């Protein structure tokens, strides 16, 4: 999941080398924190939050197969 998330976000932003994805596991919950340029945050969120919502839905679907839950956070 982490490599998939990193790949998708790097395709959306202008500065893919500055994207940092960190993973924190808390039992059955996995938290992904994504850091990037401030100018790229809007591209990842998308119009009306549609892009970030789609990424969260895909991550949740993948995590539910293994009985986990996922949280995706953008760190400014």
* Domain range summary for the chain, segments of one domain joined by +: 2-75
Rounded distance, CA 1 to CA 8, Å? 11
Cβ partners under 8 Å of residue 2, min gap 6: 21, 23, 32
Q: What is the pLDDT along the chain (76 residues), one digit of tens a residue?
A: 889 999 999 999 999 999 999 999 999 999 999 999 999 999 999 999 999 999 999 999 999 998 999 999 999 8
Its CATH architecture, for the domain 2-75, is 2-Layer Sandwich (3.30)
């Amino acid at each position: 999941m982490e490599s998939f998330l990193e790949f998708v976000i790097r395709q959306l932003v202008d500065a893919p080398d500055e994207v940092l994805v960190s993973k924190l596991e808390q039992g059955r919950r996995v938290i992904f924190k994504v850091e990037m340029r401030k100018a790229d945050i809007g591209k990842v969120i998308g119009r009306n939050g549609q892009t970030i919502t789609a990424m969260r839905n895909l991550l949740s679907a993948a995590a539910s197969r293994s009985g986990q839950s996922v949280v995706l956070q953008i760190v400014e």
